[in-house]
Structure 1
Amino acid sequence: MGKDGFRCVECNEKAPELHRDYSNGILKITICESCQKPVDKYIEYDPVIILIDAILCKTQAFRHILFNTSLNIQWKLCVFCLLCEAYLRWSLLHGTEQSSDPADIIRYTKEWEFYGMFGLAALELSAFCVAVLLFLMVVVGGLQGATLDLRLLLRALLLSCYGKVLLIPAVIWEHDHSPLCLGLIKMFVLTSNSQAIRVILNSSRRLSLLAVCVGLLSETCVAQASEKLLWSAQDILTFD
């Protein structure tokens, strides 16, 4: 982070440093000039505590992660979550049916179907992120005249999708795909997305929720269009 690249987790004011390193390993946490509180209390916290606060969608924890750390695992996390989501969709499509013949052509067909599910999941996520960014560019950048850091917003959106890791238990216990459970996971991810946007822009909750709703609408439209396209392709192949 460069100078003034940090933020106070309490009041969101910029800060030149999080702590001052004295000799003999003595560290002193910087006090915010605006709110007179520690700029970032989380630098002394255990990562587990930070994770719990992030799961609880606390604003301070999001500011710590998005502004005061150089965490750059968003792409790896994105690919991992997409793999879990693709496998979940693929397993729901085929259930528990298996081929007894290792050389059966159906087994390889199913493998390509998994890759297709991964592509669809990636396409839907891309539609969500693009719609959110375009909406914020129009509303915040165009109407309000504020500058947007699109790279930081994209990083925040991808990191805030960490809730999709909860799909791992659904992948492990593949016979317990509860629609209610999957719906709750989706709602949690959208809530985290909304909180991340609110923290980055320091905006109202209404704006962040509206941006997430626009993204969800775009994602839903892409999903439905992809499903219709797949059904049309299957009908053509069956007719031939």
Structure 2
Amino acid sequence: MGKDDFRCIECNEKASELHRDYSNGILKITICESCQKPVDKYIEYDPVIILIDAILCKTQAFRHILFNTSLNIHWKLCVFCLLCEAYLRWSLLHGSKQSSDPADIIRYTKEWEFYSMFGLASLELWAFCGGVLCFLWLVVGLLQSRPLELSLLLRGLLLSCYGKVLLIPAVIWEHDYSPLCLGLIKLFVLTSNSQAIRVILNSSRRLSLMAVCVGLLSETCVAQACKKLPWSIQDVLTFD
């Protein structure tokens, strides 16, 4: 990162460095000139503590991850989360039906159904991200004439979808309240998305919630459209 690419996790002011390296391996955390607090206290913290604070949606933890680290696993995390969601949909598609004949074509049908679920999950995710980015571009970029880093927003949205990995244990340890668990996981992911938008834009909670609602509406419309189309992927690959 270059000069003034860092942010103070307390007041969001720009900083040129997070720490100063003296001789003999002595490090001193930089103090923010605006709030007189450490620019980023998390550089001394264990990653587990940072992860816990991120799960709790703490603003400081989100600023540390989004601004003060070079974490570039958002694409890998995105693919992994999509695989988790595709597995959930695939496992609920036919329940526990299994074929006794190992040569039965149903085995191959179910494999292609998993690929179709992955495609549908990907399409809905990009519809969500597209809806959020278009809304913010219109409101923040055009109406408020503020600079908007779409790549940073996309990175923040993908990283804040980490809650989808909870779909796997929700399927493995299924019980009578699984719909409630899935709803809570969805709510947690949307809350993390909203917090990421709020931190990146340094905006009000209302704006970030509106952006998430627009994205959710876009995702729902695409999902319903895929179900209504007579030539949808799910109908083509499902031989029921």
Q: Which residue does 2:60 correspond to in 1? A: 60
> SS where residue 20 of structure 1 aligns?
strand
Structure 2 Cα separation of the partners of residues 162 and 234 of structure 1 = 26
Q: Distance in 2 between matches of 1:69 and 1:235?
A: 44
Encode CA deviations 1:210-237: one digit per residue, 9 max, x unaligned.
0000000000011111111258788899
Distance (Å, rounded) in 2 between the aligned partners of 1:72 and 1:128: 21
1:106 corresponds in structure 2 to: 106
1:10 partner amino acid:
E
Q: Which amino acid aligns with 2:216?
A: L
Aligned residues with identical type, % of pairs: 88
Q: CA deviation at 1:173?
A: 2.8
CA RMSD after TM alignment: 1.9
CA separation in 2, counterparts of 1:178 and 1:205?
30
1:103 positional shift? 1.3
Whether the 8 Å CA contact 2:116–2:234 is kept in 1: the answer is no
Superposed, which structure 2 residues align to 1:36-115 within 5 Å? 36-115=36-115
Structure 1 unaligned runs (5+)? none
Write the distance in 2 (CA, Å) between the matches of 1:115 and 1:166. Answer: 20
Inter-partner Cα distance in structure 1 for 2:101 and 2:237: 25
**Superposed counterparts of 1:22-33, under 5 Å:** 22-33=22-33
- Relative to structure 1, the CA distance from residue 122 to residue 233 in structure 2 (aligned partners, 3 Å threshold; closer, same or farther) is closer
Instruction: Provide the aligned length of Structure 1 versus Structure 2.
Output: 238
Q: Structure 2 matches for 1:108-187, cutoff 5 A? A: 108-173=108-173, 178-187=178-187
Match for 2:145: what amino acid? G
C-alpha distance after superposition, 1:143-171 (max 9, x if no partner) = 00001110000000000001111112023
The 1:90–1:65 alpha-carbon spacing in structure 2 relative to 1, beyond 3 Å, is same
- Mapped to 2, the partners of 1:154 and 1:228 lie a distance apart of 29
What's the offset of the Cα at 1:176? 6.1
**Unpaired stretches in structure 2, ≥5 consecutive residues:** none
Which residue matches 1:193? 193
The two structures have a TM-score, normalised by structure 1, of: 0.95
**CA spacing shift, 1:48–1:176, aligned 2, 3 Å:** farther
TM-score normalised according to structure 2 size: 0.95
Report if aligned partners of 2:226, 2:232 keep a CA contact under 8 Å in 1: no
Moved more, 163-172 or 117-126: 163-172
Q: 2:214 is matched with which residue?
A: 214
